Every structure is written in structure tokens, then in C-alpha cells.
Structure 1
Amino acid sequence: MLSQRQEKLIKSLHTEKGRKKAKLWLVEGTKCLESAGPAVQLRFGPEDSRHFSYLTTTDTPPTIAGLAIAPQFQLSDVTAKKTILVLDHLQDPGNVGTIIRLAKAFNAGIILCECADPGNTKVIRSSAGSVFTTPWIIMSSQMVSEWLAKTDFIIYRLENKKGAQELNVKSSKFLSTDQIIIIVGSEGQGIKLKVSGQAIAIRHEPSVDSLNVAAAVAIALFLRYQNNNKL
């Protein structure tokens, strides 16, 4: 059975402040716990506490949950990838988690700039646990801007604006083996970073204002991955 002290700790991990203080994340579900691997420090289920549904965050409580050490990646882990995503002010945890999962699938690294906390349980679930193995780091807007100003990587801004290059199977530079950076903003506010780069867009029916940000990232990553991993 969980002690009162353990239950108090688990409940504190529902907040970003609590996660930062404990350097632990609450992980829900078998798949995510498996992905967390050796980072898992404690597992518990309904049989371990009569407050189990109170300790977890989903409407329908999982069959198992656990506590895991928050992963620590370095900028060098991210820049070792040929494709780097800069997520600019993405506050929806579902989108952030989905994009982290996409980065895992298409071999990309991620820089989180003023985004939803990666330790949020919805981010962890949406990433299917990929947040533990996909390299990501958190940087402020100023830090990202300064780093981008010094990098030699080709910079792209994924945004549907006038003059943007249409992204397709003939986008030679984007599809090349060169290291590139793709900056992505939220659907509502777009890219906030004042960084120059080639604007790229995905053509779609004009009756649709914009694509979901995770859907747009999926198309961009797939096109690049497919071209660089031909059989």
C-alpha cells in the first residue's frame, strides 16, 4: 500500500511546480511505463491505494501508474539529428505530445520554446511515452533566437503565408540530406520568433483556414524522412 507521504508526492506531480521540485513525472498506463524503462522508480495500481482515481489524471483511471525520473537531454542530443523541430509557444499538451511521438517516428530532435510542460501527463500519454526517448530540450525565446542566429543549419518556417514555398515531393532543398531546422508555431498565433528563414506551406483546400499543427508537422516530417530513407 502507498503511504500518505507517497500519495502526497504523487498528487504534487499534477502540477509543473511539483514536477520541477521532485524531478519526477507521473506516468499513466502500461505503454508509457514501458517506454520510460529504467527511469521508473515506483509502480502502483488501484490495489495500492483507495485514492487511486484521485492520484491519477484521466477521466477513466488507468490500470497502472508510476513515478519516473524526468529525462535529461542536452542540446548536442538534439543537434545530432538531421531534422530539428523548434516548437514555438505550443501550449496544447496533446499537440506537443503528438509531435514528440512524430519526432520519434521520423528521427527528429525537438526544441521546446515556451511550450506546454513535457512532464504534463497529457503530453506523456499523447507521445505514447516517446517523451522519454526522443531528444528534446527547453529553451527561452531569447536563447532560441540567439542560437538560431549562430547556427549553420538551413532554417524553415512552417507557415501558410503569402510567398511561402509549397512543400511537396519536389522541394529539393527541404528533402536533401542537409541538416535543417523547422520552426512551427501555434494555429492561433503562428510563429512568434523573430527569426528569418524560408517560409514553407502545405497546400490544401482554401475552405480550410489551417491544418492542425501536428498534422502539418506529420506531413513535413514524412516527406523529408521518405526521401532520405529510400529502400
Structure 2
Amino acid sequence: MKLTNQEFLDLKKLKIKKFRDQNDYFLIEGLHLIEEAKKSNLLKFIITSNNNYQDQNIKIKYTSYKNILQLSTTKTPQEYIGLCQKIKFKDYFNNNILVLNNINDPGNLGTLIRTALAFNFNDIIVEGVDIYNSKVLRSSQGAIFSANIFNTKNLIKDLKFLKNQKYKIVGSLLDKKAQHYQNLLFNQNDKIILVLGNESKGITKNIIKLLDFKIYIPINFESLNVAVAGGILMAHLSKKDLMQQ
């Protein structure tokens, strides 16, 4: 089936956040992300300039590579674009939660999503970058389709709600009064929220007030990349067999 001009124009709009929000759809690029999207049942159809490409389970729409270039956000894209429905967030939590307070960099966000899943932080609340930003999708390597993830418009309200649900809120700070992250140990059944802040400004003051524990990572340099710091902290906090001191 050939992609119509109107379909092309509608798809092109999805490169802009406003239209993604209005339509509840987003685009993905490349076969790897397409294969990951298939597992989630969010993939609606595939657009390709490869006239020999076929898929028994997903509708294919053929177009020119010129159109692929206009739908893509990279200079030399693969000839495959997928149309996906937005992820339906589950408003209940069964896992440790990663909270990202005013993250700016899409690459950092995508990396943090991948890392969070690796260490069983399957619920992710994001304030800042749109989770459907193309750079987020690429750097997540498809992990976004396995996470319970959403963008929040009121992080303070969300954290207060979770605090009432007996979650313990841990925040990473560049603060001498904070405790070494390795000294923060939990019981097996404790429910944990890890808050990571903005790349340059850290966690906002109104969120710091909600923290139950303030921790830091000792380093011989000014600071760590937030994705690296998040990986270190999630790896430690996932070790629930350690008992709280």
C-alpha cells in the first residue's frame, strides 16, 4: 500500500511535540526500535522506501526515501519509520520508582530509561524532556516500550501522593551534609523512589524538602553525568537483601 500525500503530511507533524500530544501518536526510526515496538502492540504500521520489505503481522506503507528523510530526525536514516500509539501509563506502582526532576538532555533520559529497567526501576516519572523526543527513543534502544513511564506536570503532587503510600524518597545531591550512598541500606520490602535532578542545577528546592534521605557519590571531580550517577545509585539501591542500619 502506498503512503498518501495527506498521510505523509500528518506523519511529518508528529516530529513536533504539540502534534504528538494532540494525536497520541509518535514516530520511531529503524528496524531495532520497530522490532521492540512490535512486542508492545503499540506499532500501528511501518513506512519504508524498501519496496521488497514485507511483514506478515504489520501493515506496510511504501514511500520514497526522500519522504523518509523528511520524516526522520537524522541525516542518514534507515529506510524504516514506525507509527506508534503513545504508551498507556499504569497509575499504580509495583516497583522501585525513578523520578527525574527537570532533566534537560534527551540522550541522558534515554540512557536512564535503559538503566532503570536493568536495575528493576520499572516505573519512571519524568519532569522535563518529552519522553517521545526522537533522541530519547533512540538512546533508550527500545527500553521505553517495557517501562511504565510518563511525563508529569505536577511532580510535587505526585511525590506527596507516593510519600503517603509509604515510599521512601531518596535524592542525589552535591551536598556535604548528605550521606555516602553506600551507607544508605534498606529492608527487602521497602519501597524506594530515587530522585535525580537537572544536569546543571540538580534537584529543585521544593523537591529537596520532600526527600527522606539525601545522598551523594564521592568522586575526585566536580560532578558525574546524571546518567552515570543514576546507574551507580540504582545498582546499589536494587540490592534489597541489605538491611537498613
Alignment TM-score, normalising by the size of structure 1 = 0.88
Q: Do 2:185 and 2:237's aligned partners in 1 also have CA atoms closer than 8 Å?
A: no
In structure 2, relative to structure 1, the CA distance for the partners of 1:132 and 1:5 (3 Å cut) is: same
Whole-angstrom CA distance in 1 between matches of 2:97 and 2:36:
22
Match of 1:195 in 2: 210
Cα distance per residue 1:42-69 (max 9 Å; x no partner): 1112342232111111122123111011
Whole-angstrom CA distance in 1 between matches of 2:158 and 2:146:
22
Match of 1:14 in 2: 15
Structure with more helix by fraction: 1
Whole-angstrom CA distance in 1 between matches of 2:241 and 2:33:
29
> What code does the residue aligned with 1:110 have?
I
Q: In structure 2, the residue corresponding to 1:9 is in which secondary structure?
A: helix
Residue 167 of structure 2, aligned match among 121, 137, 153: 153
Cα drift, residue 128 of structure 1? 0.6
Whole-angstrom CA distance in 2 between matches of 1:217 and 1:30:
28
Pair 1:73-2:89 in alignment: yes
- Please provide the CA RMSD for this pair: 1.9
Cα drift, residue 178 of structure 1? 1.4
> What code does the residue aligned with 1:40 have?
L
Unaligned runs of 5+ in 2: 51-62
Match of 1:211 in 2: 224
Cα drift, residue 151 of structure 1? 3.1
Residue 237 of structure 2, aligned match among 218, 224, 228: 224
Residue 47 of structure 2, aligned match among 33, 37, 44: 44
Q: In structure 2, the residue corresponding to 1:221 is in which secondary structure?
A: helix
In structure 2, relative to structure 1, the CA distance for the partners of 1:221 and 1:196 (3 Å cut) is: closer
Unaligned runs of 5+ in 1: none
Whole-angstrom CA distance in 2 between matches of 1:204 and 1:196:
22
Match of 2:191 in 1: 179
Cα distance per residue 1:90-144 (max 9 Å; x no partner): 121111111111111111111112x211111111111111111111122223422
Whole-angstrom CA distance in 2 between matches of 1:195 and 1:172:
19
Whole-angstrom CA distance in 2 between matches of 1:172 and 1:228:
9
Match of 2:108 in 1: 95
Residue 151 of structure 2, aligned match among 135, 138, 159: 138
**Identity rate, percent:** 31
Q: In structure 1, the residue corresponding to 2:113 is in which secondary structure?
A: helix
